[in-house]
């Protein structure tokens, strides 16, 4: 079947009911997207489908046909980090790092819908789990990125 992944049209050999996560990781070798729980509970597998954050461990790849999948590998644009990635570094968010791809993709979708999110908006949107407890820094980094994107909107591509 044909998929659009990170702006490229790719032909993949996969069962229609294979979760998007496994197509990304095992077929396309895009391993930035992580497996955590497999039951849509942790958010480690978050990618964008037509710009919306989805949990790719429970969505069959057939659901992605005709839509655009964006993964963490395409969050930066032409080598320029997304404002969230810069903010993540500035706030020293990651600990072990395992959950962070999903966190960033969820945050990027949030900022598309809410360019200046309140703490309540962040708490409502960021339901991803982090065993290292980076939640406070995630929140601070999202606010930092929102400010940066207000001043330089092109830092919020993807
Ligand atoms: S691996 Fe998909 S939500 Fe946990
Ligand atoms: S940084 Fe370790 S699980 Fe989130």
Residue-wise pLDDT tens digits, 52-74: 999 999 999 999 999 999 999 99
CATH code: domain 83-156 is 1.10.150.120
- Beta strand segments in the chain, E: 2-5, 8-11, 46-49, 52-55, 68-70
Per the confidence metrics, is the pTM higher than 0.85?
yes
Return the ligand 1 atom nearest residue 41 CA.
3
List the chain domain ranges: 2-74, 83-156
pLDDT tens per residue, range 119-144: 999 999 999 999 999 999 999 999 99
Nearest ligand to residue 129 Cα: 2
Q: Quick one: which ligand is closest to 21's CA? A: 1
Residue 78, pLDDT score? 87
pLDDT at 36: 98
pLDDT over 90 at 157, yes or no: no
| CATH-assigned architecture of domain 2-74 | Roll (3.10)
């Amino acid at each position: 079947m044909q998929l659009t992944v990170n702006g490229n049209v790719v032909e993949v050999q996969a069962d229609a009911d294979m979760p998007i996560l496994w197509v990304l990781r095992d077929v396309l070798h895009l391993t930035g997207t992580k497996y955590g729980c497999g039951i849509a509970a942790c958010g480690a597998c978050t990618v964008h489908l037509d710009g919306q954050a989805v949990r790719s461990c429970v969505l069959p790849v057939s659901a992605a046909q005709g839509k655009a999948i964006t993964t963490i590998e395409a969050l930066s644009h032409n080598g320029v980090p997304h404002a969230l990635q810069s903010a993540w570094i500035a706030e020293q968010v990651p600990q072990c790092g395992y959950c962070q791809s999903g966190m960033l993709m969820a945050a990027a979708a949030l900022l598309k819908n809410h360019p200046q999110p309140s703490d309540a908006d962040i708490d409502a949107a960021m339901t991803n789990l982090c065993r290292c407890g980076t939640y406070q820094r995630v929140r601070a980094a999202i606010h930092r990125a929102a400010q940066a994107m207000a001043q330089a909107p092109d830092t919020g591509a993807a």
